[in-house]
Amino acid sequence: MINTTLKLGVNVDHVATLRQARGTDYPSVVEAALACEAAGAHGITIHLREDRRHIQDADVYAVRKQIATRLNLEMANHPEIVGIALDVLPEEVCLVPEKREELTTEGGLDVAGNIDALLEPVRRMKEADIMVSMFIDPDPEQIRATATLGAPCIELHTGTFCDLPPENRGPELERLVKGAGLAHELGIQVNAGHGLTIGNVSGIFDVPFMDTLNIGHSIVSHAVMVGMSAAVQAMLDAMAPYAGGKV
């Protein structure tokens, strides 16, 4: 095993959620993103949903213009959103499933069942030098489908792991470990995220080859109490002991 720096992408969607609750122009998503960067975050994640429940189109352009690190744009495979991504040119896009009635993303994208629909947007974004990631469950079929699609990255859905009682997490952890190993064998970068907190993030440290964790809700929630800089630093401290995968 080798020690690696596990990178943190901070999702600032829920700063926008607070703003949209009152229809004000504050708190500022850009200010939150810049505070995250100043505290050591390696990138900023935002999810432009079709229903625009939190992040708005103007936020995407403003964050793209202001930040100095990587922008990861989460998005559904929808023509309008694909067009915005190709205009904004984030460093990365992560394709996710969306349902209008969900509180948050409930599971991974069915890449295997939607390869034909995904081929064209993936091709266009790769031609624009945007790294394309698939938000998927740790399912070998979905990982192999990602390789078939030619997407260079996955984000493993850790929500199922996080929702289980600690004593029942073993089988799901094993799925994540095996999924990361298969992705690595296929030459696919491994990111992970969903449901991770300071209290549970160490539970996935047995997952090898992880490059980046994208974490939002728990950091923004902690920031309400301690401030954004302190919340980001606390998560970075919690991630520091991670040991990377075999080489």
- On whether residue 160 sits in a domain, the answer given is yes
**Which range of residues forms the domain containing residue 127?**
7-239
- On whether residue 31 sits in a domain, the answer given is yes
Q: Please give the Cα distance from 100 to 76 (Å, whole number).
A: 12
Q: What pLDDT was estimated at residue 1?
A: 38
Q: What percent of the chain has pLDDT over 90?
A: 92
Mean pLDDT within 138-163: 97
- On whether residue 247 sits in a domain, the answer given is no
- Phi and psi, residue 172, nearest 5°: -70, -35
The residue from 47, 54, 157, 222 that is catalytic is 47
For residue 71, the SS3 value is strand
- On whether residue 2 sits in a domain, the answer given is no
- On whether residue 102 sits in a domain, the answer given is yes
- On whether residue 1 sits in a domain, the answer given is no
pLDDT at 95 over 50: yes
- On whether residue 153 sits in a domain, the answer given is yes
The residues near 205 (Cβ < 8 Å, ≥ 6 apart) are 241, 242, 243
Mean pLDDT within 127-134: 98
The answer to whether the Cα torsion of 229, 226, 53, 213 is positive or negative is positive
* Active-site annotation holds for 74: yes
pLDDT at 10 over 90: yes
Supply the CATH number for residue 177's domain: 3.20.20.70
The residue from 37, 74, 92, 172 that is catalytic is 74
pLDDT band at 107 (very low <50, low <70, confident <90, very high): confident
Residue-averaged pLDDT of the chain = 94
Tens digit of pLDDT for each residue in 53-73?
Answer: 999 999 999 999 999 999 999
Q: Please give the Cα distance from 111 to 145 (Å, whole number).
A: 6
For residue 193, the SS3 value is strand
- On whether residue 246 sits in a domain, the answer given is no
Q: What pLDDT was estimated at residue 106?
A: 61
Q: What's the domain count of the chain?
A: 1
Q: What share of the chain is helix, strand, coil (3-state, %, to 5)?
A: 45, 20, 35
